[in-house]
Structure 1
Amino acid sequence: MRILVVGGSGLIGAHVGQVLRERGHDVTSVARTANPGVDHLVDLESASIDELRPLLAGHDGVVYATRNDEQRPLPKPIYPVFRHDIVDPVVRLFTAARAEGLTRGVIMGSYYTYFDRLHPQWRLAERHTYIRCRIEQAQEGRAAAGPDLPVAVIELPFVFGRAGDRLPNWAGPLDRWARSRTPLVVPTGGTAAVSARSVAETAVDALEQARGEDIPIADENLTWTEMMARIAEAVGRRRRVGRLPAGVAKAALRGGGAFQALGRKESGVNPSYLADLMLAELFVEPTTGRPLDPALRETFPDPSAPPA
């Protein structure tokens, strides 16, 4: 196969490209900024369908692997901004892919869409603009692709790993916290977690099989206590992780939501309701069984450890 990887220089896109090449496929890498291994520079937020068609011509499939910052506060109303960033580029990309006769595609999505299906009583799309746009991204991307271009949506949880200098966008604050002398105190609840390599293998499987379904993925399910303890151990600062009372977590996050509202700002994941997610066990079953520790150590290296 010949596959176009959009966001090919990012953490997940780079791993997808690597797995594709290992399996004997041809890869064209597209990114917004110049990096080693990037074949074409394209800003997908502004590229038109007519501009995308020549890039897609001659390919069998396409992977959309760009990332978005759902926590960045923006002036209200934020829905048009999130739709412009998350939904519209995917619609144009898969409209162009259908016109060029591609036969398979993958979107790197969010595990929040999985939990929206699993727990409709949580009203996630109503409460969180980011989740609403992720749902629309999958629905409208598939509609643009049409029945002859199946599109798999990989529903990503916390992704661990490294690609050159690219790390998960949430890793920096946790790394500094784990290395500091500040006590580690976390709420109840937890999250699914996966390595970038595992995501890439799942995505390439979906491309090879021309699958078109939603694919929630997890290598392990971790409580917040387990996750922070393993991060602290990885950086060489093994220590006890305390428990933050649920009421304190809710008050702090709701206070953040009220502060944003005073400034007429809002985040893609609304802090007023974020506590409900943080205190839940956002676990995905079944897990892949693939090892997570190597990717965890890549994300949070111990400077005192001997080279591998």
Structure 2
Amino acid sequence: MGQPAAKTNRISFQGTLGAYSHQACVEVFPGMEVLPCATFEDAVASVWEGRTDLAMLPVENSTYGRVADIHHLLPESGLHIIGEHFLRVHINLLGVPGARIGDVKAAMSHTVLLGQCRSFLRENGIAARTGADTAGSAEIVAATGDRSLAGLASELAGEIYGLDLLARHIEDQKNNTTRFLVMAPEPDNAPQGGDVLTTFVFRVRNLPAALYKAMGGFATNGVNMIKLESYMVDGQFTATQFYADIEGHPDDPAVARALEELRYFTSSLRMLGTYPAHPYRREQEHERLAQGVT
């Protein structure tokens, strides 16, 4: 993904410096400054307020599924998806300068990361200590100066807070990956052709089998829907909104026909973005084919 024309040359993310969202920003836009924000809403607001040009938002993780509340935020943010990024979540044991693995008696991190390193912690007799987040835990460890306390976080966090890398890539699952969306105030529709994704949200009309009929247009037109998720709206069990990712451009004839049929069975339809598919998708597909998985 090329770096867009910038006004501030800054990109926002939720978390503290050294968070995995920060790492995603650096990987995709190494020339941009970053703005850490306390919440996802703050990250979005920074774009609308002109303090940043873009926001980097995590939407799902291969181990833990979708990020809580993010599907509610995306449609209401008023921002547009202009790209996606897949980040391999490597977990590292970070200690104060001079510490060794044998010195460490406890490791601090977000509860999710602690759960992903159970084998390593057990094998090394290290107790788990819950922290507010990953990078914040690394910052706390650095401030204590205690060799018996380490943090579990990204290598970037270790560099930022001056910690030593005691053990690399200690996660139990070696394929743990988080998908991020790059959000901008204006759409940057990918050109037709090539690997393109389109994301939208919709609500079906109150008709018998409305969802089944709405999806039929994608099947009959040969449009591949790679994600369909539902979630309640405004806490109402009867108000359901659907989030969908499809392959293709809205101007592709087949996609246009499928969307036209979808509109007939929906009470609302909001396009969130058309953007290039990340190469990671094809890499995963090639791996599955090589393993004989369909």
Shared fold (TM-score, shorter chain, > 0.5)? no
Structure with more helix by fraction: 1
The structure richer in strand per residue is: 2
Q: Which has the larger radius of gyration?
A: 2
Q: TM-score range by the shorter chain?
A: under 0.3
